[in-house]
Amino acid sequence: MLKQRRFISRVICVANMGRRNKNRPQQYRDGRPEGKRSRDDAAWGAGYADIVKENKLFEHYYKELKIVPDGEFEEFIEAMREPLPATIRITGYKSHAKEILHTLKEKYFKEVQDLEVDGQKIEAPQSLSWYPDELAWHTNLSRKILRKSPLLEKFHQFLVSETESGNISRQEAVSMIPPLLLKIEPQHKILDMCAAPGSKTAQLIEMLHSDMDVPFPEGFVIANDVDNKRCYLLVHQAKRLNSPCIMVVNHDASSIPRLHFDNNGKKDILFYDRILCDVPCSGDGTMRKNIDVWKKWTTSNSLHLHGLQLRIAVRGVEQLAVGGRMVYSTCSLNPIEDEAVIAALLEKSEGSLELADASPDLPGLKYMPGITSWKVMTKEGQWFSDFLKVPTSRHTQIRPTMFPPLDTEKLAEMRLERCVRILPHHQNTGGFFVAVLVKKAPMPWNRRHPKLRNKEVSSSGEVAPVEELQMDESPTDVPPADGPSTDAPVEAQEGERNPSVPETPEPVEVKKDNVCGPPPPKKMKLFGFKEDPFVFLTEDDPIFPPIQSFYDLSPNFPKLNVLTRTHEGKKRHLYMVSKELRNVLLNNSERMKVINTGVKVLSRNNDGEQFGCAFRLAQEGVYTLCPYIRARIINISVEDVKVLLTQENPFLSKLGDDAHMQAKKLEMGSIVLRYLPDPKDLEAPQCPIDLCGWRGKTSIRAFVSRNERLHYLRMVGVEVFRDKQGKRNDGQTETQEGSTEDAEGQEVDLVEQEGAETEKNSSGSNANDTELASSTCNGPTS
């Protein structure tokens, strides 16, 4: 009855939508007004036919700045007008990355090369020479061709399903560079300051999990974004990788709070080993995919963003550990957002920061070195080469930090040529800027005030770390109305409290330099959705004994790392986080807004209580939990994998003899279906596969989501494909049934999953990856 009601409701909604659309003008019937269409429509559709890829001010500005080599400017502009080609990256940390790479090279790349689509010849995809292990590939296919051409439908469905299952990321080539330059190791504590939509965050997680045999690396990633809604897009991206070492938080990056952690009973300040500072920017390097930037571009965009970018960068280096690396990046070519921010940061650091040479880490990448001389232009086209020549009326828009340092010796010491600027016409990419900063010493404004050295001694007689004297953890980010003094610290320029003043409970008098004492700390303001609590279970929680007994968990199973999202009632899902993230969560509940963390490992199944355990395994966390499971494991073969993923509830007798015998010995309930590679069988997958399943009375079932089913089926030589809806000659719509083609080329019909659980629709899907592959192989989700 409930299903009937839902179906009727959907029909009524669709009917009403059709009725509303019928009376709307043609340009509104796709649900978007004329100026609100998708990026592909913007690039190719009639709705954006009026956008001319031309901006005289843009051309004049960059010709004057001379960031493009002599004689290449026309080639640069022509490249900016061309659509951006598609690039893909294989998830490197998963053990089956080699299998996916083999499938791409031996099947899909060979199928698409030399095809001709809309008069354009498809070239063979090429690996990016500067990305390790051939895990990133570049094609001359635009997103429009890839999505619309029937000849590329199989390739497109492959990309969509593998993207949703976390095995491939469709990411712009230049966007892959910043994580590479961080040189991440599994023990590193990492902060991604402006993380959404999450493609770079995914790279950080991959590098953290470089060793798949270690379910809990010592390090972690804290991914932050100021936009609450974009945080959920970030969660969707991060969850594809099923890592227990990622936490998504929601803060203004320029005032992200200082976190603490428990260090053997002593509360210490958390400093990060690596920080990614990919700041908001004007985005003129993205004109190839964001067409509307052509008509919206103006120099005032950079002038408005410079202060925010500098504040975010300052906050980043303050939280960076001595010896750590911070990568600053933008998708802008403008030196006001690029070299000017780096120069101001280096000048205020007084030697605490050093600009590192990134060229050895990017072999084969063509780029331009950073520039050491530039000018500032107003929206009206007026140029200034020196802040002293800027009229006072302009001081609120133009700041001294926007100009190169006047001291030529100091400018030479900065080595700004070590910055990297990527121009689109050099390697058919987008435009990008990146700089690598290494912290050599504490920042000068964080150093301990001499008068407090004797007072800040702990009871044990030890002095706290030098950077423990910290600037206000919730500084304001509103710049002063007038222009800042060139001699003041960065924080004073931007309206923040002066960090050189010591933190003390007594009121501080106004000093000679007109710097007041610290204001009282502000209470953190929370915006957006109110999240459920993160509740860690205790070791003696009554929920554990049945689980431990049923799955025979090893004694070293980290019970303290298990959490749930409710204080009261039955716990529906259990999640796991790493020991280090648990430490951070428990010691910072009052100072940060956590959106999501942990990976789901167990889900309540009330039917399971009669079999001894009320919780079944979840596919998302199978690789995290399996190292501790010592029972209820069935070893299966390649043929067993095919049976389990193409049939709804196959009888136990459908399995091979070995798997059948193992299954018969187990009681009903949740199980692990494990495939182990045979080194002698080179045709079979050479990596282990773990699937969550259910052993029924006479049948067995795999609890695997649709896209993961498609992924594992491809790995064992079964290709799943479903044609798009087409039209017959008589005009009637025809739906092509899905079919499976096995390794021998025979077609095998897939069983319709009528009893499958409803797959939840994620509201935070990436704009690039929202299309889901259509298939009749719709297995139950976990």
Q: Which structure tokens are listed for 352?
A: 């605490």
Helical H runs in 321-391?
339-349
Average per-residue pLDDT in the chain? 78
d(CA 88, CA 97): 13
Answer whether 84's CB lies under 8 Å from 142's CB. Answer: yes
d(CA 607, CA 750): 28
Q: Exposed e or buried b for every residue in 338-370, given b needs 16+ CB within 10 A? A: bbbbbbbbbbbbeebbbbbebeebbeebebbeb
Residues forming the active site: 331
- Quickly state the pLDDT bin for 482 (edges 50, 70, 90): very low
How long a stretch of residues is the chain? Answer: 782
Task: Look at 745 and 397; give whichever has higher pLDDT.
Answer: 397
- Quickly state the pLDDT bin for 767 (edges 50, 70, 90): very low
Q: Specify which residues 597 forms β-bridges with.
A: 247
Q: What's the distance, Cα to Cα, between the start and end of the chain in Å? A: 25
**Strands, sheet with 573-576, edge to edge from the N-terminal-most edge strand:** 535-536, 562-564, 573-576, 599-604, 615-617
Q: Which structure tokens are listed for 40?
A: 């592909």
Dihedral sign computed on CA atoms, order 624, 629, 635, 640: negative
Q: What are phi and psi for residue 511, nearest 5 degrees?
A: -85, 175
d(CA 652, CA 699): 5
Q: What is the pLDDT of residue 723?
A: 56
d(CA 770, CA 780): 20
Q: Specify which residues 269 forms β-bridges with.
A: 260
Which of helix, strand or coil describes residue 725? coil
Short-list 368, 182, 337, CA closest to 273? 182
Question: Would the pLDDT of 311 be above 60?
Answer: yes
Q: What is the pLDDT of residue 379?
A: 85
Least confident of 125-129, 213-217, 468-472, 700-704: 468-472
d(CA 327, CA 278): 8
Q: What is the pLDDT of residue 9?
A: 52
Question: Would the pLDDT of 716 be above 70?
Answer: yes
Q: Specify which residues 726 forms β-bridges with.
A: 734
Q: Which residues contact 108 (CB under 8 A, 6 or more apart)?
A: 154, 155, 158
Q: Which residues contact 266 (CB under 8 A, 6 or more apart)?
A: none
Q: Which structure tokens are listed for 171?
A: 């990411």
pLDDT in tens, 421-476: 999 999 999 999 999 999 999 999 877 544 443 444 333 333 334 343 333 333 33
d(CA 373, CA 411): 10
Question: Would the pLDDT of 550 be above 90?
Answer: yes
d(CA 568, CA 381): 63
Q: What is the pLDDT of residue 444?
A: 92
Task: Look at 85 and 118; give whichever has higher pLDDT.
Answer: 85
The two beta strands, 320-330 and 689-695, are unpaired
- The predicted model gives 362-369 an average pLDDT of 94
Q: What is the pLDDT of residue 454?
A: 41
Which of helix, strand or coil describes residue 88? strand
Element of type H or E holding 205: helix 199-208
- The predicted model gives 346-370 an average pLDDT of 94
* pTM of the entire predicted model: 0.79
d(CA 80, CA 482): 37
Dihedral sign computed on CA atoms, order 7, 11, 16, 21: positive
Question: Would the pLDDT of 773 be above 80?
Answer: no
d(CA 720, CA 775): 7
Provide the Cα torsion 616, 622, 627, 631; round to 10°.
30
Q: Which structure tokens are listed for 170?
A: 């469709």
pLDDT in tens, 243-281: 999 999 999 999 999 999 998 889 999 999 999 999 999
- The predicted model gives 738-759 an average pLDDT of 32
d(CA 255, CA 251): 8
- The predicted model gives 663-671 an average pLDDT of 93
Q: What is the pLDDT of residue 525?
A: 52
- The predicted model gives 151-159 an average pLDDT of 85
- DSSP track, 419-434: SEEE-HHHHT---EEE
Q: What is the pLDDT of residue 470?
A: 38
Q: What is the pLDDT of residue 358?
A: 92
Question: Would the pLDDT of 51 be above 50?
Answer: yes
